[in-house]
Each structure stands twice: as C-alpha cells, then as structure tokens.
Amino acid sequence: MSILERVAVLGASGWVGRTACRWLTELDTQILAIASSNRVEKVGSTLVQYETFELARVKDFKPTTVIDAAFITRERLGTFTLENYVASNEKLIGQALNTQRLPSVEKFIGVSSGASVRHLKEESADLSLDPYGILKARYEKHLVENSELRVKTTIARIWSVSGDLVTKPKLFAFSNLIHQAMTGHIDINSSRNVFRRFVDLQDFVKVVCLSNPGPSRVIDSGGKLVEIGDLANLIFYQLGFPPSVGRSLRADCESDSYHSDDSSWQASLEEINYMPLTLEEQIVKVATAFGFKH
C-alpha cells in the first residue's frame, strides 16, 4: 500500500495546503482536505472540497499520510489579541497531535518554520516577543516527544519558498520582487545584505512526502544561497527586462541571514534522486502565474 493512498491535509486552503492538494490530485490520491469552513474552491484546474475538522471524520477516512499545515501565521497577528492568537494555534496543535496518533497514519508531516529554531532550546519564553516562532517550537517538540510517534513523523521546516499558488504575493520576498519587476522597477527596502535559500514549494512538499528524515526527524527547506539584490537582477534577466533596482545599502549593517545550512535538504534530494527547480526555473514559474508571457 502506498503511503500516499489516502492523505489528510490539515490547513488545506493555505499556500502549503493548496500546493499539496494540487499535486496529490495529479497522483489520483484520495484526499481529505481540512480547512476553517466547508466550501468548494478551484485549485489550479481542480475543484477541492474543504471540510472542517472533526476527529471522527478524519479517523473514518483512515489516512495513510497526514500533511499538517494548519496554523495562523505571523502576518495575521494583528487581527487577534495575543491571548486569542495563542489559544487558536494551541487548538490547531491539539488537533494535529490527535491526528498524529491515529492508527492508520503511517507518515505524519508537520509543517513548521525556520522561525522556530531559535526558540527550540528555551524552556520558557515570553510569548509576546515572538508568538509565532515560540508556538512553532512548541509544536515541533510535541510532535517528536513520544518515541513511538516520532518514528513516523517528519518535521517539514520551511525557511523561504517560491510557488505559483502563493496566496499573498506582495507579502513574500520572492513573489514581491517578481511583482515589482513586471512593472519595470524593483525597490529593495532593506539597508543590509539579505541572504536566503529558495525552493519551489511543490518540490518541497514532494520531497518531504517521498523521503525520510535523519535522526532529528527534520527536513529543512534549502536551495542555492542568494543575496536579495542578486536575485532582483536575476529576475530582470529571466524576464528579459533591463535591470532597474533601487536600494540604499549601509556598510555598517550586519547581514540578514535567514536560511538553513542546506544539509537535510540535499540529503533528501539525494535519497530519492530528485532534481528540484533551479532558481531561474522558479522565477519563470511564478512570473508565468502572474501573467508574464515569454
């Protein structure tokens, strides 16, 4: 039996969830798509039926794999009180842990964030300082604290990704730069060097589903290291536009480096002999989704 025979996707209407549902549909996988309300939406060329979370319903579905991407993300902090933000995410974490325990589940993929890493060694942290990162760290710890459940669990830790189903294109650096480039000019607001590694989100979802993590149970997103100004120029080159980048760099500013060391990502690619999209291919994919024609 394939572990992708029946997949429950929690948080199925977000960027990760929509990307997973589209790919799994292409595989003719049976999908249970869980979201905040019952509705039908078009994802790519496919209609996805979203249902609200009921543990009994998930149990009856007998998922062989679970992809848990249900979380209220950092950009939505302003629409909640801190207390409600924490309570809402703790409820989602509880739903995930209950789903992880279901006997039919052979592989549980918990989607986390690079924001968790600096909080993983803290015993107690002030939630008001970084509620998203601290809650993601708690989530990671809960997923692997039970030794029996740990062995079927992958923590899929996202740092920076690109993708054509991005739900808030102006909010994320990669899609924002492409959006700007298509107007003929990019403004980079950061006065320091910014280093990132980008991977196509669908590639990331595929790899974490099909490969096995090391002893840490974590697969971090990786990719080629790029400075954001170089990425801006590469975007113009790929689109065939003359480069036009506005930026005020200050030499006295420390670099902003938010990325993994790329090791778990490369190990996973090697394990399943998978070739992800290059940075250039990622640019073309996202620009095409925004209406760019070659």
The C-alpha atoms of residue 138 and residue 143 are separated, in whole angstroms, by: 9
- In degrees to the nearest 10, what's the CA dihedral of 227, 228, 233, 238? 100
Three-state SS string over the chain comes to CCCCCEEEEECCCCHHHHHHHHHHHHCCCEEEEECCCCEEEEECCEEEEEECCCHHHHHHHCCCEEEECCCCCHHHHHHCCHHHHHHHHHHHHHHHHHHHCCCCCCEEEEEEEHHHHHHCCCCCCCCCCCHHHHHHHHHHHHHHCCHHHHCCEEEEEECCEECCCCCCCCCCHHHHHHHHHCCCCEECCCCCCEEEECEEHHHHHHHHHHCCCCCCCEEECCCCEEEHHHHHHHHHHHHCCCCCEECCCCCCCCCEECCCCCHHHHHHHHHHCCCCCCHHHHHHHHHHHCCCCC
β-sheet bridge partners, residue 67:
9, 109
Pairing of strands 39-43, 46-51: antiparallel
Question: 212 near 150, Cβ under 8 Å?
Answer: no
Q: Which CATH number fits domain 6-158: 3.40.50.10860, 3.40.50.720, 3.40.50.2020, 3.30.70.100?
A: 3.40.50.720
Q: Which of 213, 67, 82, 78 is nearest to 135 (CA)?
A: 82
**pLDDT given for residue 37 in this prediction:** 96
Measured over the CA atoms of residue 9, residue 11, residue 17 and residue 21, the dihedral's sign is: positive
Write out the residue limits of the CATH 3.90.25.10 domain(s) in the chain.
161-200+223-294
Q: What is the CA radius of gyration of the chain?
A: 19
Could you tell me which residues come within 8 angstroms of residue 239 by beta carbon, excluding any fewer than 6 positions away? 181, 182, 283, 287, 292
Burial class of 80 by CB neighbour count within 10 A (0 to 12, 13 to 18, 19+): middle
pTM over 0.75: yes
pLDDT at residue number 77:
83
The stretches in the chain having pLDDT less than 70 are 1, 124
Residue range(s) in the chain whose domain bears CATH number 3.40.50.720? 6-158
Question: What does the alpha-carbon distance between residue 94 and residue 205 come to, in Å, rounded to a whole number?
Answer: 23
**Whole-number pLDDT of residue 30:** 96
pLDDT (0 to 100) of residue 285:
97
Q: Which CATH class is domain 161-200+223-294?
A: alpha beta
